[in-house]
Amino acid sequence: MIDFLATLRPEQGLAELCEVRPARPGDLLWQVLVRLRVGAGAAESVELADSAELARSAEPGEEAAADSAPESAHSLTPRVVGAYGHSRTDALVRGVGEAVERFALFPERGAPEGAVRGTLRELTPDALEFADPDVALGDPRAAEQELLWYPARRLRDGAEVLVPAALVDYPASVEDGAYFDPSPSGAASGQGQEMALRSALLETVERDALMVAWERRLVLSRIRVDRLLGADGTAGIAGSVGTGGGAADVGPKTPGAKAVGAAAVAAAADARGKAHASRRHLLTLWRRVEAAGLRPVLADLPTGLPGVHCTVAIVFDEQRRHPLAAVGCNTSDDPWRAMLGAFQEALQIRTVVRHLGTEEDGLGPAPEVIVTDDDRLRHVASRTGYEQVSEWVAAFTETEAPERSAELPPPLSASDIVDRIVADGGDPLALDLSFRLPAGLRAMGWSAMKVIPAGSQALRLSERHDFTWHRPRLASAEARTGCTAGPPSAYPTRPHPLP
């Protein structure tokens, strides 16, 4: 059984330091920061308190003082991860999960069994054709380069396929990474392989949906939270759960199906309980955001996958000297969790921008070309970043988004999600990176997975790489989502707003 507090204890080998921070003045979310016990050569992005603070943070019922969190203007580093939540527990669960998945991406923890070196041509047909237009994950010039390859599992049929290590490791090696766009996207952790794989798949769906919607300027439908929620956070309307998914019949159909039916009924009951909590937290957070003078927007982002919901959230902070439009996105088989998750992600970006910059200068001038997350944060914090998001949101419609019912079907399994991705044109591959985790974490039940989104649009970290655009995916956006592409932008280049 996973113990989130025990996971952070120094003897487990995951975390060097950790802080739990209550919402500071002007912020609305709790924060957890973890400095990993890997990648020690990198500069820290946040100054953390000493090891005594870690011990205090790990004690149930204790909260770190707000003044124990000194600020720093250092750049971001893969070694420090953080997460935000509507409560201490929510932030802790999210932060620990982020720490575990990031730890598993560091190549210094070793290569998986079956790793080989060679060129794409030498390893064909067992290797991923990363530069194929229907894959769009690597530079065609790398076809003749000797690379490090890891064995992955093609999820539609279980076949083993070699994938470049630079699509898995983060940070990737300098030599191999030059031909790819290394990113932590598509990694996830959880209790057991199924949970981790499910989360990783949903993240790739989310990134695909947002990248395509942003580039094509899809016209989305706003979600009227005031109509969706009653005063107590209960569903304000009833009907089918959006994005094409109807409620499943979970009752047993034959005597032999009683055990399966009972499990499905229990899962549905658990889903209803979590959905109610998500509705309540969403309403509370929404009211706090409005009371703070911020302007929140939620919109439905169709995924093309039945029963898989994606929400994009924008929090406009126009009281600042430098106005900001922070964007977040989340995908789930529970539409309420998708809305709450996207909302929290947008608020997280706002908080990072507020505390890494200054009131006078913000984060400084936006770079001409975005290569790193630091660059993208500076773009998001710039006047141009604000105006580009505002331009997109101004085209959103006020028509009703798909209804969200209080009654939810049982959660989708990883296999269910794979089937839907494949039907939509994707061909995901996965690697189990749990072997990189400390033994104590594996014994506790932690697993870490990485999904390579072949056939889908991957998150683009660097704007230098034209080869990471999945052109067929962009071209089919309107047909797959039912959304209309917006008119041409007033801006010649529009870097996406998701650091």
DSSP H stretches of helix in 329-438: 335-356, 373-380, 383-394, 414-423
Nearest to 373 by CA among 81, 58, 39, 22: 81
CA 363 to chain centre: 23
What is the reported pLDDT for 157? 98
Residues 196-253: tens digit of each pLDDT: 999 999 999 999 999 999 999 999 999 988 777 665 555 553 333 334 333 333 333 3
Higher pLDDT, 75 or 120: 120
Most confident of 40-44, 139-143, 350-354: 139-143
Average pLDDT score over the chain: 86
Nearest to 57 by CA among 1, 4, 2: 4
Residues 59-110: tens digit of each pLDDT: 333 333 333 333 333 456 899 999 999 999 999 999 999 999 999 999 999 9
**Burial class for 134, CB neighbours closer than 10 Å (0-12, 13-18, 19+):** middle
At residue 182, what are phi and psi to the nearest 5 degrees?
-55, 140
User: Residues 136, 458: contact at Cβ < 8 Å?
Assistant: yes
Per-residue pLDDT at 265 exceeds 70: no
Residues 6-63: tens digit of each pLDDT: 999 999 999 999 999 999 888 999 999 999 999 875 444 444 434 333 333 333 333 3
Residues 449-495: tens digit of each pLDDT: 999 999 999 999 999 999 999 999 999 999 999 999 999 999 999 99
Residues 281-337: tens digit of each pLDDT: 999 999 999 999 999 999 999 999 999 999 999 999 999 888 999 999 999 999 999
| Rounded Cα–Cα distance for residues 391 and 387 (Å) | 6
Nearest to 187 by CA among 449, 472, 455, 453: 449
Average pLDDT over residues 371-389: 95
| Rounded Cα–Cα distance for residues 190 and 57 (Å) | 22
DSSP H stretches of helix in 178-320: 193-216, 225-228, 258-291
Average pLDDT over residues 256-282: 61
Per-residue pLDDT at 369 exceeds 70: yes
Calculate what percentage of the chain has a pLDDT beyond 90: 74
| Rounded Cα–Cα distance for residues 409 and 399 (Å) | 25
Higher pLDDT, 401 or 250: 401
Q: What element of type H or E holds 92?
A: helix 88-103
Tell me the Ramachandran region of residue 443: left when phi exceeds 0, alpha when psi lies from -120 to 50, beta otherwise: alpha
User: Residues 301, 213: contact at Cβ < 8 Å?
Assistant: yes
Confidence of residue 174 (pLDDT cuts 50, 70, 90): very high
pTM higher than the cut 0.85: yes
What is the reported pLDDT for 366? 86
Residues 409-427: tens digit of each pLDDT: 889 999 999 999 999 999 9
| Rounded Cα–Cα distance for residues 79 and 75 (Å) | 11
Q: Peptide bond preceding 171: is omega within 30 degrees of 0, i.e. cis?
A: yes
User: Residues 330, 342: contact at Cβ < 8 Å?
Assistant: yes
What is the reported pLDDT for 361? 65
